[in-house]
Structure 1
Amino acid sequence: MRLTMYTDFSLRVLIYLGTKERKDLSTIQAISDAYGISKNHLMKVTHELGKLGYIETIRGRGGGIRLAMEPEDINIGQVVRHTEDDFHLVECFDCKTNTCVISPVCGLKGALNRALFAYLKVLDGYTLADFLHQKLKLANLLFNEQQDV
């Protein structure tokens, strides 16, 4: 299993925002600087996270972003399902483009499908709060000498 960079960045944004107080706003630029990743990528990620209801975006002067819900209410399995664009581990998972001649009798598809469900089930057992137990250490790494909004 491998997550896309989009999902990776989505999870990182949520962790970053989870280290802050819910009332405090952060900027995309600050998150970009903290992780050393493209601001343009993060703009797309934060826009989608806002549409999905995970974060709140405040426009205008003094605006920014923050979590829209408590960290314990953000299920990691659901975030992954919402941010991954496909779970086609192998060609036969996509009925539209499958040309594999052994698909009708292949046992691999079933095994990989069970593995995928097990993978997601494990992630369903976690919330964002589970990844914030070392909040102070995370904050020290993320906000090292940097000031946020």
Structure 2
Amino acid sequence: MRLTSFTDFGLRALMRLAGEPERIFTTDEIAREFEISRNHLTKVIRQLAAAGIIATHRGAGGGFRLARSPHDISIGEIVRALEARQALVECFRSDGGACALTPRCRLRSRLRVAREAFLRELDGTTLAECAYPARDGSPPVPFAA
């Protein structure tokens, strides 16, 4: 399964947040650190907030941080949240797409099974296991609920 840049940026940001789960980060900071588009990252952050994976803070000192412990967030949950808008193939779209092969396609069911196996595998890995260390190299700090 090919992940979109949307999911790639989200995973990078979340891995960094997991390294310092108590800290509030800004979009500018993450975009600079990973050399990714700030505008694109802003959209990713909105979707992660809507999914309850991160919490946003407005005003002076605002930004975002993990909404839950990285031990309680699976990579599968993240990928599902970020890939919800992007169908793997046209026939997986919510409107069914317009693929001419759909009536007799033998690939669709196999792709569906493969996608689910991929996501099940990611469900077995937590964000804490993939935490990206702080810039100073210190180990990840435990999340205090």
Q: TM-score scaled by structure 1? A: 0.79
Which residue number corresponds to residue 15 of structure 2?
Answer: 15
Which residue number corresponds to residue 78 of structure 1?
Answer: 77
CA–CA separation in structure 2 for the residues paired with 1:106 and 1:51: 35
Which residue number corresponds to residue 4 of structure 1?
Answer: 4
CA–CA separation in structure 1 for the residues paired with 2:115 and 2:18: 27
Is the Cα–Cα contact under 8 Å of residues 92 and 100 in structure 1 kept in the other structure? Answer: no
Is the Cα–Cα contact under 8 Å of residues 91 and 99 in structure 2 kept in the other structure? Answer: yes
Distance 1:28 1:114, change over 3 A: same
What's the offset of the Cα at 1:27?
Answer: 1.2
Distance 1:141 1:5, change over 3 A: farther
Aligned residue pairs, count: 136
- SS for the counterpart of 1:140 is coil
Distance 1:66 1:109, change over 3 A: same
Is the Cα–Cα contact under 8 Å of residues 74 and 127 in structure 2 kept in the other structure? Answer: yes
Distance 1:36 1:109, change over 3 A: same
Distance 1:131 1:93, change over 3 A: same
CA–CA separation in structure 1 for the residues paired with 2:99 and 2:61: 53
- SS for the counterpart of 2:99 is coil
Q: TM-score scaled by structure 2? A: 0.81
Is the Cα–Cα contact under 8 Å of residues 77 and 124 in structure 1 kept in the other structure? Answer: yes
Distance 1:109 1:73, change over 3 A: same
Instruction: Structure 1 unaligned segments of length 5 or more: list them.
Output: 143-149
Is the Cα–Cα contact under 8 Å of residues 57 and 63 in structure 1 kept in the other structure? Answer: yes
> Where do residues 1-149 of structure 1 align in structure 2 (5 Å cutoff)?
1-22=1-22, 24-84=23-83, 85-89=85-89, 91-94=90-93, 96-101=96-101, 103-132=102-131, 135=132, 138-140=133-135
